[in-house]
Amino acid sequence: MTVASPTTLYDKVFNDHVIDTMEDGTCLIYIDRHLVHEVTSPQAFEGLRNANRSVRRPDLTLSTVDHNIPTSSRKEFKNVSSFVKQPDSKVQCETLEDNIKAFGLTYFGLGDKRQGIVHVIGPEQGFTLPGTTVVCGDSHTSTHGAFGALAFGIGTSEVEHVLATQTLLQKKSKNLRISVNGTLPVGVQSKDVILHIIGVIGTAGGTGHVIEFAGPVIESLSIDARMSICNMSIEAGARAGMIAPDQITFDYLKGRPLAPKGADWEKAEKYWKSLRSDPGAKYDKEVVINGSDIIPTVTWGTTPQDVVQITGKVPDPASYSDLAQRAGVERSLEYMGLTPNTPINEISIDKVFIGSCTNSRIEDLRSVAQVVKGRKVASHVYAMIVPGSGLIKKQAEDEGLASIFTEAGFDWREAGCSMCLGMNEDQLKPYERCASTSNRNFEGRQGFKGRTHLMSPAMAAAAAIKGKLADVREFIPVESALVLQFETKDSKSYIFPFAQTDYPTAGVAAESDDGPQAGMPPFTVLKGTAAPMPMTNIDTDKIIPKQFLKTIKRTGLGTALFYELRYHADGTPDPEFVLNKPQYQKSSILIAGANFGCGSSREHAPWALNDFGIRCIIAPSFADIFENNTTKNGMLPITLPQQTVDILCKDAEQGLELEVDLPNQVIRRSDGDEISFKIESFRKHCLVNGLDDIGLTMQKKKLIASFESHRSANYPWLDGQKYQKVPIAVGGGSNTDW
Ligand SMILES: CC(C)[C@H](C(=O)O)[C@@H](O)C(=O)O
Ligand code: SF4
């Protein structure tokens, strides 16, 4: 008898979803839950239409509008066409609603109290369940991993793939366990924990891995707090973050509208209890963090790894011996307008943003109320609170939190992404400094030239009151150091989320294809000029800033590529930027720095590069989602060791041409030297032959259908028929319910 070897949580969930495995290990996996929003879906629906395809499982898809919408009062709301004023945003919202109607999907529109940020509404409704695969055209899909789901962001081509087939092609990631041991000091929230972790492992620390967060501190956290942690796994470069489901998870889910009921619940709970890593399971990497080392933390720079404790100082570039690192710090400090060695708690702020899919849930708001109750926002500060969903807004109003906020001088808004990325009107003005509970402090993220400091909700609340970055521990009364309670209007009491507690320490032959295949241009041999761009951590916000995500087309983005680096504030090209130099204006190859394409899942980044003419990017490492997105567009990402990339970068600086030969897997330098590179065989096959993934997957329809019948028989709660019949609430109307 063979004994199954100990398995990790990630491996269990992944293995349970494999429909088919190719020779090189690429798997076709089933997707249980698909969330859709207005920004990353238009081109996917257009693709379905062009190929005459339908949505395979409308019952497993839930959609909403969140990124583009105003957060102003909806009292006068009639429909998106009259309510959303910005023309491109309006078109995206209207396009989503047209697609919802045409493809028969479930949708929470602006007239529906359940509307909100896509990563808030899924869990809130019980749509997100333990052991499921959850995807969305959005990098922060990792949030849903807090339930023990395998949840990750995908690009728009993959959105189309999921809509058409309810499956995805995936390579298995590696396992990374991050254990947070001990206890958390008073004043430390789960946001501090994840900022601390990213400070330790870096923004590429999780690349190629799925993180399992474990240990006594994680186990003690509420679901809201766990979601903030998994949410930012992507900021650590990970494919996903997961936490084993436990009683806290089950208690959270019980009674949610879409959670299983009755006998299904019993069966589901039994299965969910098996979803934990077996003792002795092997991890490719392990990191251990001591919870008591964490104190309230903020970011000082322009990547989420630039963290500092609130008692610390702005770093001094002079203290970095590595010249590249020193230059990076200097550049960030210049952008952030900070002087080395300034005490962090002396940095004055202009705005406060409390919201985003990281920190806009009810517990976040309760912690803010705890700090600001009876106090006033500093007179020079504008502070806004944007709840994550209409239901959270209502709950906060019912609990009396909203009146505490407004009495303190906060602007209390309607649900949406808001100033997390400023695709709507909520933005920073140039050089404004913001204390923000969001997840990205990239250049220009919250507004052109805006300056973002990431922190916990309680810390942002303290900053609002003091008018500068502040230590929330000054606001916590000594007598409440153990368990902080918050009295609400309805006289229920809630545990303050940062209270200190004592914690116990085979592949099958293709079937006939009955659908049209779209196809991409084949990639074989590419000869051309390479542009050198060795900066590390180029994020997709830098490759294509938010204002260009409002298109509903895949083309025409080339002129906007690297917009903020490439153009001066008045819109004229900066002659110093590499792609503006005459010798690089026709480059077809980009030689880039490590962790290229990190951050958001926007496929607009490869679309913009492609439109400019770049077909191949060579770098020491890529962010997972970006790398996937390039290949779906017939582009080739090549990973090589840093020293080899440095050699190619020197060639590029001299204007020498390179020849990239994919069939033979070599790069030929102009002196005849050949550098070989690796690529997965399935990926190579698709690129060389210009094959469209969806067409290939459609050939496996029978396998998918047989997987689905097995799934319905064994996991009956995963079929969404309970809500399939709900009328689609598009446009007006209010208080819609299941
Ligand atoms: C618009 C979307 C592609 C993007 C993401 O993937 O993260 C956005 O949500 C963000 O936070 O930048
Ligand atoms: S990170 Fe910000 S923009 Fe992206 S989904 Fe979350 S709230 Fe929306």
Looking at the structure, give the CATH architecture of the domain made up of residues 525-691.
Answer: Alpha-Beta Barrel (3.20)
Q: What is the pLDDT of residues 609-651, one digit of tens each?
A: 999 999 999 999 999 999 999 999 999 999 999 999 999 999 9
Question: Does the fold of domain 297-321+328-494 match that of domain 11-175+237-281+700-723?
Answer: yes
DSSP 155-216: -HHHHHHHHHHSEEEEPPPEEEEEEEES-PPTT--HHHHHHHHHHHH-TTTTBTEEEEEESH
Q: What is the pLDDT of residues 683-694, one digit of tens each?
A: 999 999 999 899
| Among protein residues, the one whose CA lies closest to atom 2 of ligand 2 | 420
Q: What is the pLDDT of residues 1-33, one digit of tens each?
A: 566 799 999 999 999 999 999 999 999 999 999
Predicted confidence band of residue 517 (pLDDT cuts 50, 70, 90) = very low
Find the 89 Cα to ligand 1 centroid distance in Å.
Answer: 15
Both tokens assigned to 665: 């897997």
Q: What is the pLDDT of residues 197-224, one digit of tens each?
A: 999 999 999 999 999 999 999 999 999 9
| Among protein residues, the one whose CA lies closest to atom 5 of ligand 1 | 600
Find the 626 Cα to ligand 1 centroid distance in Å.
Answer: 12
Predicted confidence band of residue 462 (pLDDT cuts 50, 70, 90) = very high
Atom of ligand 1 nearest to the CA of 234: 7
Please say whether the dihedral angle defined by the alpha carbons of residues 26, 32, 33 and 39, taken in this order, is positive or negative.
positive
**pLDDT (average), residues 270-279:** 98
φ, ψ for residue 526 (rounded to 5)? Answer: -125, 120
The CATH code of domain 11-175+237-281+700-723 reads: 3.30.499.10
pLDDT at 414 > cutoff 80: yes
Residue of 438, 454, 602 with the most ligand 2 atoms within 8 Å of its CB, for mutation? 438
Residue 735: predicted pLDDT: 55
Residue of 64, 115, 117 with the most ligand 2 atoms within 8 Å of its CB, for mutation? 117
Residues 571-590, buried b or exposed e (16+ Cβ, 10 A)?
eeeeeeebbeeeebeebbbb
pLDDT at 604 > cutoff 60: yes
Predicted confidence band of residue 722 (pLDDT cuts 50, 70, 90) = low
Atom of ligand 2 nearest to the CA of 356: 7
Find the 69 Cα to ligand 1 centroid distance in Å.
Answer: 14
> What is the C-alpha separation between 501 and 183, in angstroms, rounded?
7
Residues 266-283, buried b or exposed e (16+ Cβ, 10 A)?
eebbeebeebbbeeebeb
Residues with CB under 6 A from ligand 1: 39-40, 67, 138-140, 153, 421, 549, 600-602
Query: pTM score, two decimals?
Result: 0.93
- Mean pLDDT (the chain) is 92
Report the share of the chain in percent with pLDDT over 70.
91
Residues 6+ apart with CB under 8 A from 525: 659, 660, 661, 662, 663
Find the 22 Cα to ligand 2 centroid distance in Å.
Answer: 34
Looking at the structure, give the CATH architecture of the domain made up of residues 297-321+328-494.
Answer: 2-Layer Sandwich (3.30)
Predicted confidence band of residue 476 (pLDDT cuts 50, 70, 90) = confident
Find the 267 Cα to ligand 2 centroid distance in Å.
Answer: 34
Q: Is residue 151 within 6 Å of ligand 2 at its C-beta?
A: no
Domain boundaries, the chain: 11-175+237-281+700-723, 297-321+328-494, 525-691
Q: What is the pLDDT of residues 581-592, one digit of tens each?
A: 999 999 999 999
Q: What is the pLDDT of residues 68-106, one digit of tens each?
A: 999 999 999 999 999 999 999 999 999 999 999 999 999
> What is the C-alpha separation between 680 and 664, in angstroms, rounded?
13
> What is the C-alpha separation between 576 and 563, in angstroms, rounded?
13
Both tokens assigned to 178: 């991050």
Find the 231 Cα to ligand 2 centroid distance in Å.
Answer: 10
Residue of 600, 626, 628 with the most ligand 1 atoms within 8 Å of its CB, for mutation? 600
**pLDDT (average), residues 340-347:** 98
Residue 172: predicted pLDDT: 97
Both tokens assigned to 404: 């505490």
Q: Is residue 13 within 6 Å of ligand 2 at its C-beta?
A: no
Residue of 65, 140, 360, 386 with the most ligand 1 atoms within 8 Å of its CB, for mutation? 140
pLDDT at 551 > cutoff 90: yes
CA dihedral 342, 344, 349, 355 (to 10 degrees): 150
pLDDT at 502 > cutoff 60: no
Q: Which ligand is nearest to the CA of 354?
A: 2
Q: Which ligand is nearest to the CA of 445?
A: 1
**pLDDT (average), residues 545-561:** 95
pLDDT at 320 > cutoff 90: yes
Residue 720: predicted pLDDT: 80
Report the chain's terminal Cα–Cα distance, integer Å: 49
Both tokens assigned to 701: 């329809």
Q: Where are the alpha helices (DSSP H) in 421-552?
A: 457-466, 540-543
pLDDT at 546 > cutoff 70: yes
> What is the C-alpha separation between 704 and 500, in angstroms, rounded?
48
Find the 159 Cα to ligand 1 centroid distance in Å.
Answer: 14
pLDDT at 726 > cutoff 70: no
282 CA to centre of own chain: 27
pLDDT at 512 > cutoff 70: no
Q: Is residue 357 within 6 Å of ligand 2 at its C-beta?
A: yes
Q: Is residue 180 within 6 Å of ligand 2 at its C-beta?
A: no
| Among protein residues, the one whose CA lies closest to atom 10 of ligand 1 | 600
pLDDT at 508 > cutoff 60: no
**pLDDT (average), residues 389-410:** 98
Find the 136 Cα to ligand 1 centroid distance in Å.
Answer: 10
Residue 518: predicted pLDDT: 57
